[in-house]
Amino acid sequence: MGATTRRWLTAAVATVAALALGAGTGQAAEKEPTGPVQPNILTAALYSLGAPTIAPPGANDWNCKPSDRHPNPVLLSNGTTANAYENWANLSQKLANAGYCVFAGNFGGAPGSFLQTVGPIADTTKALAAFGDKILQATGAKKLDVVGHSQGGMNVRYWIKYLGGADKISRLVGLSPSNHGTDLFGLLSTLEMIPGVPAALGTVCQSCNEQAVGSDFLTALNSGGETVDGIQYTVIQTRYDDVVTPYASAFLAQKPNVKNILLQNVCGLDFTDHLGITYDPVAQGLVLNALDPAHAKTPPCVPVPPVISGQIG
């Protein structure tokens, strides 16, 4: 049996086991099966083609109890089209290695499918919030810290505003979040004006329409204030974002509890794009700092090339 065959057979077995144990679905098992650490989102996506429901490494240990240093479990919230493994198959293990209880699930897509977080954002977020409640119950923690990528860094604000998240979330860290939507360099805004196009797009990705600049969803979400007192917000964004455009639209309105960080102000040699930011070592260091500011460290500045993006938001 060749190495490639063995890898795919292993992935297939992992998929069956994951489905049996409810991996990535929010159904608590003692410890869900996880995939290996990946160096970038492209290798993670390829692996998850054979195991789309498997949990990212270090995540979904339902016996995990938070430590005194890290009393809040960390919930990872996926970007549009991404499943949990694809999005987090590196950062999840780093968080676990740092002593956090880490959890991630798949919502907003057909059960067991490769593509997730494509349904209506309100429905995705309701499922995410229910998953968060299960994490709090299992761990005995009082509050969660949430790290979200793209849509996953924005939709948590819907949870906070409409679904009682203000009492359950301590920190929200967004990596290239679509807080004010995107025009995709003007392309999405143009397509949205063509009769029939939004409806067609909505049949495969309703959340894509809802993340267009000026959408009814985003207008309502951002009205009356973008943040809530008592929650610490951190936005980490790259100048080379090729999905959330213009890149500065990711940032939240300045308040004492809001910290907006441009990646290139920390490391000018970092060329990571939208899709690669969750795997970027500088961004990962900034996430760790946001979760534990009392022990913040300056991330090492190393050149990071961009990844060609395939996500909407």
Q: Give, as one character, the DSSP assignment of residue 270.
A: B
Per-residue model confidence as pLDDT tens digits over 124-174: 999 999 999 999 999 999 999 999 999 999 999 999 999 999 999 999 999
Give the chain's domain count.
1
**Domain coverage including residue 151:** 41-295
Cβ-proximal residues to 83 (8 Å cutoff; 6+ apart), any chain: 24, 48, 52, 53, 106, 109, 114, 115, 116
Question: pTM for the whole thing?
Answer: 0.86
Structure tokens at 241: 């974002």
Residue 17 lies in a domain: no
Are 103 and 72 contacting, i.e. CB atoms less than 8 angstroms apart?
no
Residue 203 lies in a domain: yes
Residue with tokens 């007192």: 229
Are 64 and 73 contacting, i.e. CB atoms less than 8 angstroms apart?
yes
Q: Give, as one character, the DSSP assignment of residue 210.
A: H
CATH number of the domain to which 246 belongs: 3.40.50.1820
Tens-of-pLDDT digits for all 313 residues of the chain? Answer: 444 334 433 343 343 333 333 344 444 458 899 999 999 999 999 999 999 999 999 999 999 999 999 999 999 999 999 999 999 999 999 999 999 999 999 999 999 999 999 999 999 999 999 999 999 999 999 999 999 999 999 999 999 999 999 999 999 999 999 999 998 744 455 455 555 555 655 577 899 999 999 999 999 999 999 999 999 999 999 999 999 999 999 999 999 999 999 999 999 999 999 999 999 999 999 999 999 999 999 998 976 666 644 444 5
